[in-house]
A = this chain, B = another copy of it.
Amino acid sequence: MQTSDDSRHGGAGHNPLALDVRKSAILTAVVTEYIGSAQPVGSQHVMDAPGVSVSSATIRADMAALERDGYLAQPHTSAGRIPTDKGYRFFVDHLVGPAALDPVGRQQVRQFFDHAHGEIELMLEKTSGLLADLTDCTAMVVGPSHELATLRSVQLVGLGPRLALLVVVLSDGAVQKQSIDLSEDVDEGRLADAARYLVAHSLGRALSQIDTTLVTTGDPATDAVVSVGVDALRHLGSAEAGDQLFVGGSSHMAAAFDAVDTVRSVLTILEQQLVVVTLLRDVLDRGLSVAIGTEHGVEPLASCAVVVMPVSVDGEVTGTIGLLGPTRMNYPQALAAAQVVGKRLGQRLSESRR
């Protein structure tokens, strides 16, 4: 309701939008300590933290205020404090600076991308593994959509009497295929005719720009093949065919929680590609880079936080990388890792696209 610009002096007890310097330091201390130990943090421990040079009694008073304002919680009366989702949120938004990846990780990333080559899917798969290794989180990588990539090759391969395969190669190196059921027997020649026609009318365009107006080839049977071919092309361009999800390091979820039930429900979510992809897109759409606890709305992941990072190819956001961990995950590390890997991955993908 009321907003005060008196953030220097604090008065945080009434203003939930700002915390004075010391309270910030205390919150930082509690969060970092709890991230490391997973144990409630007492005022005694906070005393040792940098930026806090007051007695435990004073810290206690501040912690009580932080609890009143919803940044901290107490599992029970005589325990230390643990951060609430709101506490993590404030920490992420205001207290954690632009951290850099540790040298070892930096080296790992460099090495990875120096040696990365070949198939895009394999690279994305391995990227998820890299991210998981770097962060001890579960990593999710959504392959870049091929919206902007143009068609480099279109091919119809007959597989059976009424079965053909449409194979397209995109300018970004992606190969997509779509099986085509033909309503009647089509001989190789007619298939080739149709393919030639498709090539002539689609090569160089993006999948989303395939011409839907059919020009007749003169032969009705060939036209029919062309028609299903065009349908297949457009299907490939649609969203469902594009989003490939790669999940790496799901075992880290078992290390993050000690309740096996939590692990199970989280893994169940991870198996649902659609849910994961939607979750990542949602968070990104809301302009967030971190969604904590219930913020992302996926109920079984209430004890998890998600870090997302867009992957830009030639300045255009297409792919996404995500990190899933417990709410007490190491946010600075995760953000740093996601950032650098996302950037490098984007560069890499831009390179191989002309």
A contact residues, total (Cβ < 8 Å): 43
- B159 with A165: CB separation less than 8 A: no
Q: A153-B157, A165-B173, A354-B160 are in contact. Are A254 and B271 (CB under 8 A)?
A: no
**Can you name the residue of chain B whose Cβ is closest to the Cβ of A158?**
B152
Cβ of A28 < 8 Å from any Cβ of B? no
Query: Could you say which of B117, B179, B254, B265 contacts A264, with CB atoms under 8 Å apart?
Result: B254
- C-alpha spacing A79/B118, complex, angstroms: 58
Q: Per a CB cutoff under 8 Å, which of B160, B169, B251, B260 touches A271?
A: B251
Closest B residue, CB atoms, query A121: B177
* CB of A175 closer than 8 Å to a CB of B: yes
Given contact pairs A119-B177, A160-B354, A153 touches B155 in the complex (Cβ within 8 A) = yes
With A251-B271, A264-B254, A267-B251 in contact, is A173–B179 under 8 Å at CB?
yes
Q: Which of chain B's residues has its CB closest to A241's CB?
A: B119
Q: Write the nearest CB–CB distance from A261 to chain B, whole angstroms.
A: 8
B-facing residues in A150-168 (Cβ within 8 Å):
152-153, 155, 157-160, 163, 165, 167
Hey, which chain B residues are within 8 Å of A158, CB to CB?
Answer: 152
Known contacts A165-B173, A167-B169; is-contact A119 B249 (Cβ 8 Å): no
A117, B179: Cβ atoms closer than 8 Å = yes
Contact of A175 among B118, B163, B175, B258 (CB under 8 A): B175
Within 8 Å CB of A145, what residues of B? none
Residues of B contacting A268 with CB < 8 Å?
251
**Across the interface, do A160 and B264 meet the contact criterion of CB distance under 8 Å?**
no
**Chain B residues near A17 (CB-CB < 8 A):** none
Which residues on B sit within 8 Å (CB–CB) of A267? 250-251, 253-254
Q: Which residue of B lies closest to A265 (CB)?
A: B251
Nearest CB of chain B from residue A186's CB, rounded to whole Å: 14
A321-354 Cβ-contact flags toward B at 8 Å (1 or 0): 0000000000000000000000000000000101
Question: Which residues of B lie under 8 Å from residue A163 when comparing CB positions?
Answer: 173, 352
**Which residues of B sit under 8 angstroms from A181, Cβ to Cβ?**
117
In the complex formed, the residue of B with least CB distance to A117 is B179
- The answer for the CA separation of A155 and B354 in the assembled complex, in Å, is 19
Closest to A248 in B: B271
Which residues of chain B come closer than 8 Å to A179, judged between CB atoms? 117-119, 173
Interface contact B152-A159, CB-CB below 8 Å:
yes
A153 to B166, CA, bound (A): 11
Partner of A251 from the list B152, B169, B255, B264 (CB cut-off 8 Å) is B264
Please, which residue of chain B has its CB at the minimum distance from the CB of A179?
B118
Q: Is there a chain B Cβ closer than 8 Å to A263's Cβ?
A: yes
Tell me, in angstroms, the Cα distance from A298 to B181 when the chains sit together. 44
> When the two chains form their complex, are residues B155 and A171 in contact, meaning their CB atoms are under 8 A apart?
no
Question: Which of A119, A155, A160, A177: most chain B CB closer than 10 A?
Answer: A177
Chain B residues lying within 8 Å of A165, measured Cβ to Cβ, are 169, 173, 175
- On A, residues with C-beta under 8 Å from B are 117-119, 129, 152-153, 155, 157-160, 163, 165, 167, 169, 171, 173, 175, 177-179, 181, 248-251, 253-255, 257-261, 263-265, 267-268, 270-271, 352, 354
Known: A155-B167, A175-B177. 11 other contacts (CB 8 A): A118-B179, A119-B179, A153-B167, A157-B169, A159-B354, A167-B169, A251-B265, A254-B254, A254-B263, A254-B264, A254-B267
5 A–B contact pairs at CB < 8 A? A119-B178, A167-B169, A250-B267, A258-B260, A263-B263
